[in-house]
Amino acid sequence: MGSHTHPSCAPDEPLVVTRLVKSALRIVAMDDAAQGLGLRLGMPLADARAMYPALAVAESDEHADRRLLDTVADWCDRYTPLVGLDAPDGLVLDIAGCAHLFGGEAALGRDLLERLAAQGLHARAAVADTVGCAFAVARFGGASLVPPGGMRQALMPLPMAALRLAPETVEALAELGLKRIADLIDLPRAPLAARFGEILVRRLDQALGREDEPITPRLPVPSYVAEQRFPDPIGLERDVLGTIARLAAQLGVAMERHQDGARLMQVALFRTDNKVYRIEVGTGAPVRDADRIGRLFADRLAMVGDACDPGFGFDMVRLAALVTERSEPVQDGFAQGELARGGFGRADDAEFSHLIDRLGARFGLRRVTRLIEQDTHIPEYAFAAVPAHAVRRSENAGRTRQLLHPSSDIRRPSSDTQDSLSPTRPVRLFGRPEPVEAVAEVPDGPPARFRWRRVLHEVAAAEGPERIAMEWWRDADGHALTRDYFRVESREGLRVWLYREGLYGRETPAPRWFLHGLFG
């Protein structure tokens, strides 16, 4: 299948597409009008020009071809979730179990070709038991429907190239007089394999169904799928969301039967004109509740907004659970009352994780984070912000840690072992420590006053230094200097975390001061 449009060329005028092959521009594709002129594929452009000086020429663009093929493959998802690419210009669809939805295999093929033709694409299709046979019949054969088990009859009259062989192999076979598959099909296998390689026998076996050939799907095949088609396209957001909610209910029933819940879901919106939007939503815990799934997609769509233009409407909506996880059924009827008594039960946990999912759907999962303690003494790396949906049941994690170290109080960071009346770490930390001008009475003593953001602060009290050396293997970069941290209270009561970078005299002659954080 292929289609090339050239803006400067009227539809009826001959157009050829050329590419540099063997150091000459050769014709690699042409339209019907050009074919009518007697041009051939592989002919040098110079020869064609000599015959028809007015020939319109376009240069081939493999990337654009690939994009077009991807788009068409996306669109073919409407027939089956199992769509494989047969680059550069073919698609393989596994329609086992799907054909009856379209009124049979022949009707499906007709429907597909009609819809592609409506979009200006010339295509040929064949239905057969094997990929190899369908390939051969679609590209070289006449009939488009090979009856089950009829591969041999269908393949016999076709040329050798229909077996998906390298051009050299086809030429070599032709020199021996083997031009059609019929010439080859009953020959002894061992000499053929010895002379032309294993691949020839294998291709034949694959085409005849003697060897299995799986289709490699372009997209992951979901475990659960629900879809709805519309004879009349829908375009309103309300209708789309309503459809998603209905599909979610169907999906929920199926998932409940298998005690699964979805962690990653995808809605595919098939626009009438070939375009397919795929919108994904991830969750922190397995979900199968239709309302929740519906709300997640409502939030996601609100954020996607104009990027998802309905155009003339969507004629199909599919909801798929791409990643699922085992999820035991929960009886939550009794837990509802716990809130009223001031406690927080499992239902509230579920509700909170739903809130996290919704915030993640709206703003992106990376923006909803939990802080996880890290094993380092460098202040700025003490805690890492980890996407909240990836953190599993933090309380459980805490409990496990407590079991492992029953005596340690896991909630307190180690810095708190310094028993102080005031917190030893600030509540806010600047990602980039702010340089301050500070004056200390002695070179390695606490500061007496400092100027931060153009305001001079007199130090009323200071605690420190808390000396924090950087990791020794970081010597190469600029952050290797040892820091002396001071907790400082100004005359106005402002408490800040200052540090002096570099040990006076040993690491630097003029240490610089930075304000790293603010205390409460």
Partner 1 sequence: MSAESSETLHALRRTVADITAGLPGEDGRLVSFGVTSLDAALAGGLACGALHEIGPTAPLHGGAAAGFAMAMAARALRGGGQAVWIQPDFNVSEAGALYGPGLDLMGLSTERLVILRVPRPRDALWAMEEALKCRAAGAVVAELASEAADLTATRRLALAAREGGGLGLILHPNTAPDDQPFCSQPSTATTRWEVASARGARDRFGGLGPTTFALSLVKNRRGRTGQWRLSWDHHECVFATSLSLPVAPAARDGSPRNVLPSNEWPRDEWQHDGQPHAPFVRAG
412 belongs to the binding site for partner 1 (CB under 8 A) = yes
237 belongs to the binding site for partner 1 (CB under 8 A) = no
390 belongs to the binding site for partner 1 (CB under 8 A) = no
Region 426-455 residues binding partner 1, contact defined as CB under 8 A: 426-431, 453, 455
Region 286-325 residues binding partner 1, contact defined as CB under 8 A: none
Burial of 176: CB neighbours in 10 Å, binned 0-12, 13-18, 19+:
exposed
Q: What Å distances lie between residue 11 and 27, 31, 45, 121, 225, CA to CA?
A: 18, 9, 20, 13, 41
Rule CB under 8 A: choose which of 371, 439, 456, 469 binds partner 1: 371
Rule CB under 8 A: choose which of 26, 292, 495, 500 binds partner 1: 495
Q: Is 267:286 a contact under the CB 8 Å cutoff?
A: no
Question: Can you spell out the DSSP letters for 77-105?
Answer: TTT-S-EEEETTTEEEE--TTTGGGGTSH
343 belongs to the binding site for partner 1 (CB under 8 A) = yes
In whole angstroms, what is the distance from residue 448 CA to residue 428 CA? 23
In whole angstroms, what is the distance from residue 353 CA to residue 336 CA? 16
Closest contact distance (angstroms) between CB of 475 and partner 1 is 26
Residue in 82, 161, 89, 100 with CA at minimum distance from that of residue 125: 89
Q: Which is nearer to partner 1, 326 or 411 (CB)?
A: 411
Residue in 265, 266, 269, 273 with CA at minimum distance from that of residue 228: 269
Rule CB under 8 A: choose which of 46, 96, 156, 461 binds partner 1: 461
Residue in 150, 168, 120, 112 with CA at minimum distance from that of residue 2: 120
Rule CB under 8 A: choose which of 46, 87, 88, 344 binds partner 1: 344
Region 122-151 residues binding partner 1, contact defined as CB under 8 A: none
Q: How many residues bind partner 1 (CB under 8 A)?
A: 65
Q: Which residues contact 331 (CB under 8 A, 6 or more apart)?
A: none
In whole angstroms, what is the distance from residue 199 CA to residue 192 CA? 10
Q: Which is nearer to partner 1, 411 or 506 (CB)?
A: 411
351 belongs to the binding site for partner 1 (CB under 8 A) = yes
Number of other CB atoms surrounding residue 47 within 10 Å: 13
Q: Is 160:180 a contact under the CB 8 Å cutoff?
A: yes
382 belongs to the binding site for partner 1 (CB under 8 A) = yes
Rule CB under 8 A: choose which of 157, 491, 505, 507 binds partner 1: 491
Q: Which is nearer to partner 1, 141 or 517 (CB)?
A: 517
> Does residue 191 have a cis bond before it (omega within 30 degrees)?
no
**Binding segment toward partner 1, per CB under 8 A, in 63-71, 88-96, 366-374, 467-475:** 366-374
Closest contact distance (angstroms) between CB of 252 and partner 1 is 21
Q: Which is nearer to partner 1, 110 or 425 (CB)?
A: 425
In whole angstroms, what is the distance from residue 408 CA to residue 412 CA? 9
Closest contact distance (angstroms) between CB of 421 and partner 1 is 5
469 belongs to the binding site for partner 1 (CB under 8 A) = no
Query: Which positions touch partner 1 (CB under 8 A)?
Result: 339, 342-344, 348-349, 351-352, 354-356, 358-359, 362-363, 367-373, 379, 382-383, 385, 388, 394-395, 397-398, 411-413, 415-416, 420-431, 453, 455, 460-461, 463, 487, 489, 491-496, 517-520
